[in-house]
Structure 1
Amino acid sequence: MKRLLSLILLFSSFPLLAQELMPPLLPWSGKSESLIVEDSNPWVTPGELTDLTESPTYTETMDWLRKLANSSPYLEMKSLGKSEQGRDIYLLVASKSQKFSPEDLAQENKATLFFHGGIHAGEIDGKDVGMMLLRDILHGEKMQLLDEANILFIPILNVDGHERRSEFGRVNQRGPKEMGWRTNARNLNLNRDFTKIETAGVKAVIDVLNSYQPDLYVDVHVTDGADYQYDVTYGYVKTGGYSPAISQFLSETFQPEVDQALKDWGHIPGPLLFAANGDDFSEGNIAFSFSPRFSHTYGDARHIPSILIENHSLKPFRQRVLGTYAFLEQAIRTIAKHYPAVQNAIISDQNQEKESIAVKFKFREAPADTMDFLGIASKKVRSEITGAEYVVWEGKAINQQVPSLLMDVPVQTVPIPKAYWISSEWGEVIEKLQNHGVEMEILDQPREVKLEYSKVTDFKMGSQPYEGLMRVQEFASEKIYRSQTFLPGSVRIKTDQDLGELIVILLEPESVDSFFQWGFFNTIFAQTEYMETYIMEPMIAQMLEKDANLKAAFEEKMSSDPEFAKNPRRIYRWFYEKTPYFDQNWKVIPVGREW
């Protein structure tokens, strides 16, 4: 009780909210402010009633959206399933045809845009944007958008994190007043989950991608980090990805039209921004090669045009929401206008002829180019508390020439086999592949097949759990070949399918997002059978007597490796591994390759 009272006194005397400690703010006004309706409008959103300084709770949001759906024949609201704490994850489907099933929408010659808010629940801009945009389509002057495209919208993806809301949600973000929590109720980060599918939220997203096959997927975030003039930054896989035709369309057609629309509405669009030195942009901006555990790279691996929006956290919630509205409205217009080109790009990437794919990238030796950077002046100040230097942003607009550091050089590639085989006992992995939408043949009779496998020769585990799993941090392996009888329930997965690249990413151990590196096969590292010395001694004598080649190899090993020669346990082990009693499955990754 005394401890609780002390904590209450501590927090009640906390001097200032972080909002009051933010860097100076550049003044802003723009045409997009006209998007906010009057309080007297019957369809004013809860956020607009606060002039977009606050964002509604889960219950308030869903009540408002349910009322909106009930008011129009063009909108359907349905649950995609339950969160870890039992909340519904809702999807809104807007369709001018008044048909809402994936099968019906697939029959229409019309683009489909899918976006969601709150994958990181404190970064909730997308939710309020979607409410305003759907309102303006159904009860405003923008029904034409629904003539051009179908719209899929998940208002809150991380619904449990959303309800862990307070004024202390995100320390470096300007609003809304109360913000949710980054991770879900099990403390898992949904935007690290797109390959392993451990969260209800990401499973819901992948279900939508599988069933509706959208022509554009947009994930709305808010940044961490540095200060600059841009308010809406966004990115996609430009180079070093798995969908070059889609990347070309996004770069040459989509981005110029969206950027111009944002400028017309009074916003400053920019690329994804990550300071090379972690403080300011004097040493360059990093363009990371995100792995497919992240939403937009996962979309690229699936050949779905995918955008990651990162609104600037130091800009007010109001400005960020309005900028995202302008982005999404133009995104709908652009994919509708260029729908045949979008489809052609998707089909082209799905039908690529590939013998191998890159699964790991590094930075280029030299910067790709320089960018005209709209920055904010800063200075380094030495802390009187720690003695270290830290950045102070001064609130003054500056222009800089900043090098672009691209991480798109392949470090490791893997050949693509004809098919993969997985035995029935690895049902969790098989189920995850099915959740991804992977096509597979499920055996109903035993079948013997000779396959190639990877056997781990050395490995190092991560020192602590990452996203709840013990990852394989480093490893070496060798190829082995053997026959195996696969029982009913085992699967054969051909790589000649639309998700072929994703299959390789998930199943080749060298891939940083493989099921192997995520730790789903960690039990292969446990050795469970051993041999006693009183058996080994007479067996070794028989082996040496009957096999001259083995005897010669042993004598060479003893003479060339003094440490081995002095270690009885290693000697016994050396012989044991050459007997049929040794565990033939130990360290063998249970994914067979058919060539």
Structure 2
Amino acid sequence: MKKLLLLLLLPTVMFAQKKDKYATPYEKGNGNQTATYQEVIAYFKLLDTDFESIQILPMGVTDSGEPLHIVIYNPDKNFNFAEIHKNKAVLLINNGIHPGEPDGIDATMMLYRDLATGKIVAPKNTVLVNIPVYNIGGMLNRNSHTRANQNGPEAYGFRGNARNFDLNRDFVKNDTKDARSFAEIFHKVNPDIFIDNHVSNGADYQYTFTYIATHHQKLGGNLGTYFKDDMMPEILAGLKAKGIESTPYINIHDEKPDGGFEQFMDYPRYSTGYAAMFDVPGSMPETHMLKDYTSRVKATYAYIQQSLDFIEKNYTTIKELRAANNDNYLPGNKYTLQWAIDSTQVTLLPFLGYEGSYITSNVTGQQRLFYDRKKPFNKVVKYYQHYTPALEVTIPKAYIIPKQWWTVIELLKLNNIQIQALEKDTEFEVESYRITDYKTAKSPYEGHYPHNSTSVKTTTRKVMFTKGDFVIDTQQPGVKYLLETLEPQATDSYFNWNFFDAILQQKEYFSAYVFEDTAAKLLKDNAKLKAEFDVKKQQDKDFDKSAEAQLDWIYQHSVYYEKSHMEYTVYRLMK
């Protein structure tokens, strides 16, 4: 009898074991626990072993010494991206860039399992790729206290990578091995849509789910309009139908959001800003730090699923708009390097918040901000999402970079930019920049003292370039990347990130007691120079009182002054 009962129960037991086999560490826990790095990789390797639709691949090194991985889901069991792109779209999901924000890690593990097991309908037109943990060094630095403002999970990773870089500031400067490997992955995968999962900081409000969407004006053209007016609204409507309200990311910390807020400008240093340079619409889910972990994971899962559903129905349109977007960036067209909020265009945004007030702090005795969760409200607030160009540049036909600037050349190649070396010495008429002013950060930021407020003087002249110097045609998919990195006035240009600081230092000088006689002769022999010198003295009292400044002015206007000082060594070929 016992043997018969065992035989009858065996199928049920086997089914339960099979079902539990694919439970994630998060699902096995108490709802407030997240997987470790080792558990994440082991889980995806399990799915790879058991399902032909899933493949995990090591892809490049990181500062931690561990390799990045990508995990591909394709029900057709084809993992060749050149072939995939012929008739399908690719969604790239990035997780764990800030490992203290692990919602996406756990949500994506469950999503892949649900797709592979048939719990949710397999996509026919979309292939999913995810980086299960991007910041491996930070993930391995597990703790329970560095996210002081966050409500769970119980333990998590650290924001900085193995060398303490914030990887979500490193997509242009590429100081880390992590970022360099990401670039290789990005261009190998060539995603049509990009999602980078995060958890917010800042104000308190009712929403579990907020989001940063790539600014539509930065995406440009019909692609940007489609992303703003069609794609994001439909995805968010799908979330709402599931009972998940959402609002744009609220970049406010010590003020009340009911006064209104601006759309976050995701510069190229950030993941979605980086993706936008290659015509990839991107978004950062920002679940709210104060909501419980289970609700946050659920919202992240739902957002990825809704995005997948939208891509499934509209993959042809997305791919066509991406392919056509370069037509907006032809030589001679204007390109915006710097943006400013257009305060004349206001969107009235329904907003679910909590009443905020200022009360006396029990710690400092000063006034502190307090949100009263017993007083929720539904108000309409001002939302500023339109920007206006603050600085534009004309797109050149090509850039020319002398071969000695190999650090920049390496980064261009890393980001799939096509370049051509001159086969012989060649003279070109080019536009050249001289740096006339800039400001430098007084405190270190992500391993740099970056510049800002850069201004230039433009001249057109003939320059002889030598064999091996590089010509970079702007008519290629990375045209926006070229403009954002090679134009020195762009916010995240290579110049502003200190790659050209050597040109800012003068190498040769003069001794005043020797140069006095030379300066006198220069003024005597050059009437035009003498006239300009006299005007300068008349108009500038400080200059008139400074012998050192006067000699230096004459020196800089003479043949003795090194022309390479402050000359920006990336040249613009206009025709």
Given the two structures, how large is their TM-score scaled by the length of structure 1?
0.89
Structure 2 CA distance for partners of 1:383 and 1:407, relative to 1, 3 Å: farther
1:241: which partner in 2?
Answer: 218
Tell me whether 477-486 or 162-171 shows the greater mean CA deviation.
477-486
Task: Report the CA distance between 1:559 and its aligned residue.
Answer: 4.1
From 561, 574, 581, the equivalent of 2:560 is: 581
Aligned to 1:406: 385
Which residues of 2 match residues 292-303 of structure 1 at below 5 A? 292-303=268-279
Alpha carbons 1:288, 1:407 under 8 Å: kept: no
- Partner-residue secondary structure (3-state), 2:463: strand
2:410 paired with 1:431: yes
Q: Identify which range, 437-446 or 480-489, moves more after superposition.
A: 480-489
Task: Report the AA paired with residue 370 of structure 1.
Answer: L
One-letter amino acid of the structure 1 residue matched with residue 144 of structure 2: E
Please give the alpha-carbon distance, in whole angstroms, between the structure 2 residues aligned to 1:323 and 1:217.
17
Equivalence for 1:33: none
**How do 1:124-273 residues align onto structure 2 when only pairs under 5 Å count?**
124-142=102-120, 144-273=121-250
Cα separation, partners in 2 of 1:121 and 1:39, compared to 1, 3 Å: farther
Q: Is the 8 A contact 1:442 1:491 kept in 2?
A: yes
Query: Which amino acid is 1:139 matched to?
Result: T
Secondary structure of the residue aligned to 1:147 is coil
Which one-letter code corresponds to 1:297 in the other structure?
Answer: G
Aligned partner letter, 2:119? E
What is the aligned partner in structure 2 of residue 520 from structure 1? 499
**What is the rounded CA distance, in whole Å, between the counterparts of 2:366 and 2:472 in structure 1?**
54
Structure 1 residues 435-446: aligned runs within 5 Å: 435-446=414-425
Say if 1:575 and 1:251 are closer, same or farther in 2 by CA, change over 3 A: closer
Residue of structure 2 in register with 1:319 after alignment: 295
TM (norm. structure 2) is 0.92
**In the aligned structure 2, how far is the partner of 1:409 from the partner of 1:189?**
29
**Pairwise CA distance, 1:519:** 1.1
CA contact (8 A) 1:442 1:489 kept: yes
Rounded to whole Å, the distance in 2 between the matches of 1:273 and 1:574 is 50
Shift of 1:455: 0.9
Report SS of the residue matched to 1:480. strand
Q: Considering only aligned residues, what root-mean-square deviation do their CA atoms show, in Å?
A: 2.1
5+ long unaligned stretches in structure 1: 1-36
Shift of 1:221: 0.5
Q: Are residues 1:288 and 2:267 paired?
A: no
Summarize deviations over 1:312-336 as a string: whole Å, max 9, x none: 1111111111111111112112111
Partner residue in 2 for 1:305: 281
Q: What is the match of residue 24 of structure 1?
A: none
Question: Separation in 1 of the partners of 2:491 and 2:378?
Answer: 37
4+ residue stretches of structure 1 with deviation over 4 A? Answer: 37-40
Task: Report Cα offsets for 1:536-555 as digits up to 9, x if no partner.
Answer: 23323432343333333334
Check conservation: 1:39, 1:49, Cα contact below 8 A: no
SS in 2 for 1:590: strand
Q: 1:429 to 1:536 in 2, by over 3 A?
A: same
Name the counterpart of 1:490: 469
SS at match of 1:172: coil
Q: Percent identity?
A: 29
Secondary structure of the 1:378 match is strand
CA distance in 1, matches of 2:552, 2:233: 64
Tell me how far 1:425 sits from its aligned partner: 1.2
Task: Rate the CA distance shift 1:441–1:481 in 2: closer, same or farther, 3 A.
Answer: same
1:512 shift after superposition: 0.6
Aligned ranges 1:324-343 → 2 under 5 Å: 324-343=300-319
Q: Give, as a single letter, the amino acid of the residue that structure 2 aligns with 1:164.
A: N
1:124 and 1:359 map into 2 onto residues whose CA distance is 33
CA contact (8 A) 1:424 1:486 kept: no
- Comparing 87-96 with 150-159, greater Cα deviation is found at 87-96
1:65 aligns to what?
A: 44
Q: Give the structure 2 partner of residue 419 of structure 1.
A: 398
* Residue 173 (structure 1) shift: 1.4
Cα deviation, 1:190-222, whole Å, max 9, x if unaligned, reads 111122222233333322321222111101111
Q: What is the deviation of 1:239?
A: 4.0
**1:359 aligned partner, one-letter code:** L
Provide the residue aligned with 1:32 in structure 2. Answer: none
Separation of aligned partners in 2, 1:296 and 1:216: 10
Query: For 1:88-144, what per-residue CA distance to the aligned partner results, in whole angstroms no more than 9, with x for missing partners?
Result: 21110112222213223223x1121110111111111111111111111112423x3
After TM superposition, the structure 1 stretch with the greater mean CA deviation from structure 2, 156-165 or 402-411, is 402-411
Assess if the C-alpha contact under 8 Å between 2:90 and 2:129 holds in 1. yes
Q: How does 1:318-467 map to 2 (within 5 A)?
A: 318-354=294-330, 355-366=333-344, 368-396=346-374, 397-406=376-385, 408-467=387-446
Partner of 1:17: none
| C-alpha contact 1:301 1:499 (8 A) present in aligned 2 | yes
- Pick which of 411-420 and 539-548 moved more: 539-548
Aligned residues: 556
1:78 paired residue number: 57
Deviations 1:226-260 (A, max 9, x none): 12122121232344323232232223332233223
Contact 2:172 2:268 (8 Å CA) reproduced: yes
User: Counterpart of 2:7?
Assistant: none
Matched residue, 2:75: 96
Instruction: State the secondary structure of the residue aligned to 2:197.
Output: strand
Instruction: Report if aligned partners of 1:242, 1:501 keep a CA contact under 8 Å in 2.
Output: no
**Aligned-residue offset at 1:407:** 5.4
Corresponding residue number in structure 2 for 1:11: none
Q: Given the alignment of the two structures, is residue 594 of structure 1 paired with residue 569 of structure 2, yes or no? A: no
Q: Deviations over 1:16-61 (max 9, x none)?
A: xxxxxxxxxxxxxxxxxxxxx9996221011100143111111111
Flag structure 2 segments of 5+ consecutive residues without an equivalent.
1-15
Report the equivalent of 2:4: none
Q: Distance between the aligned counterparts of 1:561 and 1:401, measured in 2?
A: 54
Moved more, 74-83 or 394-403: 394-403
* Aligned equivalents of 1:380, 1:157: Cα separation in 2: 40
For the 8 Å contact 2:209–2:286, the answer to whether it is kept is yes
Q: Could you tell me how far apart the structure 2 residues matched to 1:231 and 1:39 are?
A: 33
Summarize deviations over 1:447-486 as a string: whole Å, max 9, x none: 3333222112233221011111111133332123444333
Paired residues of 1:66 and 1:77 also in contact (CA < 8 A): yes
